[in-house]
Structure 1
Amino acid sequence: MKFILLIISLLTVGATATVAQDKVPVKFGKVSPGDFAPKVYSIDSNANAVVIADVGSTEIVGNTKGWFSLEFKRYRRVHILNKNGYDISNVTISLYTSGDDEEKLENLKAVTYNLEDGKVKETKLDTKSGVFKNNVSKKWTERKFTFPDVREGSIIEYEYRIKSDFLFNLRSWEFQGSIPRLWSEYTVTIPQFINYVFMMQGYMSPAVRENKAGQQAFSVTASGGTGASERYNFTANTQTHRWVFKDVPSLKEESFTSTLDNHIAKINFQLSEYREPLTYRNVMGTWTQLAKDLLEADYFGEGLRKDNNWLGEYIGDLVKAGGSKKEIAQRIYKYVQDNYTCTSHNGLTISQNLRNIAKSRKGNVAEINLLLTAMLRYADIKADPVIMSTKSNGYTYSLYPLINLFNYVICEARLDEKTAFLDASWPRLGFGKLTFDCYNGHAREISADAPPLQFVADSLMERKVTSVFIINDEQGKLIGSLQQTPGYYESYRLRNRLAEKGKEQFFTEAAKTLHSDAVIQDPFIDSLDMLDMPVKVQYKFALNSEKEDIIYFNPMFGEGWKENPFKAAERLYPVEMPFAFDETYLLRMDVPAGYEVDELPKQLVVKLNEYDEGVFEYRITNSNGVISLRSRLRLSRANFQPDEYELLREFFSMVVTKHNEQIVFKKKK
């Protein structure tokens, strides 16, 4: 299964061949006793509920405001199989709003069906008292309702229509979700004078895909200045697009997933152009135009264009201290990081000017990093903002300037012919470092040329080295030492953990991981305040285990992989690790005094594939009473496609098996 990304102009001339002429298998209100018969569906025997049909359509119609509106219709039927499927009976419908204008929800009907004594009983939703409004933001409201009389085995269905004067808000459609769907269909009809692009994503192909040319009559009424109105009637060519997906499995979140929204079968739309007979207008614009607009906007970059001499009272001394551009930038970065609090790591715009941000010493991620950009410019360092979308927010498209897909701002600084990407919104994040959530592909520099940037997880290599040395002391007890240099991101997590819980708790937990009877001595963490560098952990320890006849001993000392992160038998979307990694573990250990080796794990060397993109080595020997172990696990890629999943799962299965094998010592006779 490969990822499908279709960017298609909706002004296609002519019709595309139809794969099949299938029709929706159910109709609103037509429920028979036989519809309740299935207790389990073959598409997913463990499903708590199954969508029988989910059907939507959008067309553009003339309105009485001298323009055009979107008319969206939806019908959905679901079979609830057990109590764990009750959540599907809670429905939320989102409506866009702007000032006094709001999308209108009309003709809502919702019915619950139950089988009682062989007959179908229906319970209708009271749409006057049972539908509630919720204001989400300035731009969005919600209508919420819950189906009445829902039980195990209930069938629920609803339909509604939304009229919208916001042509840019052509509704997207999800063909896939958290429960299986037997039938999911969407139809869109577009007239020749409006152009959209649409983007289809996912790893399934539709069972039906139709494109049909046609004609549609339009009636537009425009009000005159004296109260009179004028009506325009005309006919225009249209293009109707229809997609049907059948037997769509649910998509469940598994380990190493950015966000499921990146991977479900889905189609999104973007208004692109108005065309004749309308006045031509490029609605979507270009990246350079978007960058220009952002830099001139008071909610983003207007403050960067000013001289901002007032910044001298905040960072004047840092600039006067001199040094290279990098040294000055490092001082300014540390000043912002240490003195400003980020109130939200999800933000693309500012709600206050830079001077107020500087005074309040707090702001969202956009406000913090735009202030950093202004400070660097004050210090005569070339700096520009960069917009991106974090992994948890989803992908963006480099071809199209869709600003609503972005949610994060960082700073790009040019320092002595080198470029550093800076994010001062996180405490303890090193200079020139970004959290791995930022490595989500396409980003965009907001400057005159607006060049694209790429931040990919495959470019991050996390290296970790652990060395353990164990000997018998004079009393015959095992004592040893551990030295560890974790990778940068593990070091970053460790710094945050220590700031929250302290060193004492950290080393107490480390002793439990090391061995149930371990006692840690002389613990020390080096480079803790050198935020750009990995830390170094070291300590001595004693193992106070009882002298049993047989000792089972895991030589990985808690550093091995304890379970396979890839549990599912198959995976329908990519594996997205935060980084590539290279972990080396070294052990030199005396055989416990008075014991001998009875069993030793076998050595193993295995490669992930023929391209040497992954290797696992487990080399262990026993020579003259000394056990030596070298375990190395390396993956040179962070992302793997669905067709590579089985190979990756088997590879980690061997790693986990080997890392959990034990040395068996038996007491000498």
Structure 2
Amino acid sequence: MTIDNNFMLGKNFYILISLVFTSTFLVAQNIDYGKVSKEELTQGFSSIDSTASAEYLYKYRKTYFNYVSGVGFSLITDVHERIKIYSKEGFEFATKKIRLYKDGNEIEDVNKLKAKTYNLIDDKIEETPLKKEGKFKIEISENVNEESFTMPNIKEGSIIEYRYSISSPFIYNIDEFIFQHDIPVKKIEAFFEAPEYFVFRMNVKGFMNVMPKREQFNKSLDYTQRVASGGTTSAGAGQGLGRTTQVRGSVKYMNNVISFDLSDIEPLKEEPFVNELRNYRSGVKYELSYTQFPNSNKEFYSRTWEDVVETVYKNPRFGDELKKKNYFKEDLNVIIKDLTNIKEKVNAIFSFVKSKVKWDQSYGKYTKQGVKQAYQTGVGNTAEINLMLTAMLDFANLESNPVLVSTRSNGMPLFPTREGFNYIVSSVRLNGDIILLDATSQNSLPSVLPIRALNWEGRMISKDGKSTIINLYPTSKGSIQTFQNISLSENGTAVGKIRNVYKEHQALSFRDEYRKNKQESYLNQLVDKYDGIEINNLEVKNSNELAKLPIESFDFTTESEIDVVSNKIYFSPLLFLATKENPFKQEKREFPIDFSFPFENISTSIINLPEGYRVVSIPEAIAIALPNGMGSFSYAINNVGNVLQLKVSKKINYPVIPAEYYPSLKEYYSKMIEKLNEKVVLTKV
């Protein structure tokens, strides 16, 4: 790179009056907008996945830097996408949603939008352009807007096409380049261009073998700069220094280009027990590592997790808010004045925050209105509630620190990035252990975080601004203990009573579900869950008393679980509680199986046989185990007189099981389901 001696190129790019980029490199698209063919319109299914409801025929994206005199650099992203709709299920892809970030007066904008729907009518291509009434704009949060549009005249067989540009002032925040979707992609062209002054780190995610092409091209910028000129005038020496002179020059530099040319990309299909499927989709994420302008030092951005944590902690809407305590001192002193036991203090403060401030359903690692106002209004976001909780625990002389978290919906922060965290929980040291707390959830308990926050690891920030990795997954099992007493009749009817006792995360899940519905609505859900059985006398205890385990009980009648054939009765002992279908159907799996938390479900049943019948056969006892102690299943049934006694135990000992154990897990579930559905055979005496 060479620099004209009259031009000092540094952070003060704003001094430029005019700036023109010239380049030896142009990005050409293989597919032109508006050039849809009859062959594309008559295509009846995807050659990549014949079951697909829609398909990206083409995806183009180019992200690059632009400079505007007096404003500075901005980030431009050009998008062009063409989608084929194969069935009504694919109509959802006719709506495009674009997230736009904002911070104060700095706002991302969409411009140059063009969009059309194409249909083949009487062997002629009919074009329907997007109209104004198909465009929408809403505010998602304080920092996010959403612009969307819905394409008109959609039918099975339609093709939709659109292109637009996004202008962003946030040059450090490059949206992820997404290569894999839940529908197939025929072709992708993607380009990222950055001047040599901006050094980005490229992070590749997913399971596709993606090979970028790297190139460098000479670019130059021509500039006009006004500089002060000296000299004397007839009025005397030293006067005339206010004059300025235009200086023209040019700067040559290298432009770094990374490109991708991909074809025939299979869809990422939904599978059970996945922690947010999009976490595993193939793509590339760029993060600004540092900038270095001519004649300037390097300015580093997020390079390590410590850099990230320091940046977050120094933000006044985080670190400063954590230090505020005067607003709650008087009230909290009343709450804890007679408490000497540490655990009692923790529970009392935790309960106080949950009762004092309700969650406004918005995420954030930074406060919006501030902890004091949230305390006064009784409403706050995640940061306000859990920073407040942390400050109160600290005020009570307990060792407490905030923990940065990325929720499941936000994805896993695989690489050091400030944008990776969107949530806060609190931590406290109790008897040598770190206990995690989240006061946004009315049903949570110490060490029982809501499912949304169970996402691999968090970063606990201490008062010196340093961080420690914290495992967010629980180690204790969530459990359901089921007690069942059943009486069979010779006409094939079963009546009985069920009692379920919930613990840990199973208790949290049960309370969340039960308390958000009225009892009648919850009862209807149970009927649907258990294939239309008749339920009476539903009773739930301790739904609001968090110190006690919630207990659910009800009476039931069913006629669909028992077969009577020629003086014989056939039934599986668990009746409608037996799992009927293996959730794991794929031959192979590339991403982990995420159960959210370890669990143990134990069912004990007493089955009273009808008078005049005896047992012909019962299933054999079985015990199977997953490798490395990851889980186990046991089944034992005994016949004592006119009664069957059944005990079934299902355990998964780890919240996440690596994909390499998928074949073992699939076989384990297959054997378990086969055993659960084996029949007891009775015959009439």
Is the pair's TM-score, using the shorter chain for normalization, greater than 0.5? yes
Equivalences for residues 603-614 of structure 1 within 5 A: 603-608=621-626, 610-614=627-631
Are the aligned partners of 2:478 and 2:507 in contact in 1 as well (CA < 8 Å)? no
Note if 1:65 corresponds to 2:70: yes
3-state SS of the aligned residue for 1:429? coil
Note if 1:216 corresponds to 2:219: yes
Superposed CA offset, 1:389-446 (max 9, x none): 121221113x51x232222211112345443222222223223421233221121122
**Partner residue, 1:16:** none
Distance 1:119 1:359, change over 3 A: closer
Query: Take 1:516 and 1:35, find their aligned partners in 2: how far apart are those partners?
Result: 50
TM-score by structure 1 length?
0.82
3-state SS of the aligned residue for 1:459? coil
Distance 1:658 1:92, change over 3 A: same
Distance 1:337 1:156, change over 3 A: closer
Equivalences for residues 169-184 of structure 1 within 5 A: 169-184=173-188
Select the residue among 37, 40, 44 that pairs with 1:39.
44
Query: Take 1:326 and 1:180, find their aligned partners in 2: how far apart are those partners?
Result: 53
Note if 1:200 corresponds to 2:204: yes
Displacement after TM superposition at 1:248 (Å): 1.6
Query: Take 1:161 and 1:505, find their aligned partners in 2: how far apart are those partners?
Result: 47
Note if 1:578 corresponds to 2:596: yes
Distance 1:457 1:297, change over 3 A: closer
Note if 1:303 corresponds to 2:321: yes
**Aligned residue identity for 1:420:** I
- Structure 2: 5+ residue runs without aligned partners? 1-26, 229-242
Superposed CA offset, 1:277-307 (max 9, x none): 262211226555554554454422313324x
**Partner residue, 1:638:** 655
Equivalences for residues 253-652 of structure 1 within 5 A: 253-277=270-294, 279=296, 280-284=298-302, 287-288=305-306, 290-306=308-324, 308-344=325-361, 346-397=363-414, 399-400=415-416, 402-447=417-462, 448-457=464-473, 459-468=475-484, 484-496=500-512, 499=515, 525=541, 531=546, 534-535=549-550, 549-567=567-585, 571=589, 573-608=591-626, 610-622=627-639, 624-652=641-669
Displacement after TM superposition at 1:386 (Å): 1.4
**Aligned residue identity for 1:490:** Q
3-state SS of the aligned residue for 2:318? coil
**Aligned residue identity for 2:195:** P
**Aligned residue identity for 2:506:** E
**Aligned residue identity for 1:174:** I
Query: Take 2:91 and 2:524, find their aligned partners in 1: how far apart are those partners?
Result: 44
Distance 1:557 1:204, change over 3 A: same
Distance 1:176 1:500, change over 3 A: closer
Equivalences for residues 99-138 of structure 1 within 5 A: 99-100=104-105, 102-103=107-108, 105-125=110-130, 134=138, 136=140
Are the aligned partners of 1:457 and 1:577 in contact in 2 as well (CA < 8 Å)? no
Displacement after TM superposition at 1:560 (Å): 2.9
Q: Out of 287-296 and 151-160, give the one that drifted further.
A: 287-296
Query: Take 2:111 and 2:356, find their aligned partners in 1: how far apart are those partners?
Result: 51
Distance 1:472 1:600, change over 3 A: closer
Are the aligned partners of 1:385 and 1:410 in contact in 2 as well (CA < 8 Å)? yes
Displacement after TM superposition at 1:274 (Å): 0.7
**Partner residue, 2:172:** 168
TM-score by structure 2 length?
0.80
- Structure 1: 5+ residue runs without aligned partners? 1-21
Superposed CA offset, 1:166-225 (max 9, x none): 31233422112232101122111233221112322112112x531223322234566889
3-state SS of the aligned residue for 1:189? strand
**Partner residue, 1:154:** 158
**Alignment: residue pair count:** 636
Distance 1:181 1:221, change over 3 A: farther
Are the aligned partners of 2:302 and 2:418 in contact in 1 as well (CA < 8 Å)? no
Distance 1:152 1:425, change over 3 A: closer
Distance 1:62 1:499, change over 3 A: closer
Query: Take 1:188 and 1:484, find their aligned partners in 2: how far apart are those partners?
Result: 56
Displacement after TM superposition at 1:228 (Å): 8.1
Q: Out of 452-461 and 368-377, give the one that drifted further.
A: 452-461
Superposed CA offset, 1:583-627 (max 9, x none): 23233445433211234234444334x434233222334355443
Query: Take 2:41 and 2:557, find their aligned partners in 1: how far apart are those partners?
Result: 65
**Partner residue, 2:232:** none
Displacement after TM superposition at 1:494 (Å): 3.4
Superposed CA offset, 1:106-135 (max 9, x none): 544434433344444444556x88756555
Query: Take 2:338 and 2:474, find their aligned partners in 1: how far apart are those partners?
Result: 38
Are the aligned partners of 2:515 and 2:543 in contact in 1 as well (CA < 8 Å)? no
Note if 1:53 corresponds to 2:58: yes
Query: Take 1:236 and 1:318, find their aligned partners in 2: how far apart are those partners?
Result: 65
Superposed CA offset, 1:46-68 (max 9, x none): 22221111121223344323743
Cα RMSD (Å): 4.0
Q: Out of 320-329 and 654-663, give the one that drifted further.
A: 654-663
Equivalences for residues 67-86 of structure 1 within 5 A: 67-86=72-91
**Aligned residue identity for 2:645:** S
Are the aligned partners of 1:65 and 1:223 in contact in 2 as well (CA < 8 Å)? no
Distance 1:134 1:218, change over 3 A: farther
Are the aligned partners of 1:581 and 1:634 in contact in 2 as well (CA < 8 Å)? yes
Are the aligned partners of 1:436 and 1:457 in contact in 2 as well (CA < 8 Å)? no
Query: Take 2:60 and 2:280, find their aligned partners in 1: how far apart are those partners?
Result: 21
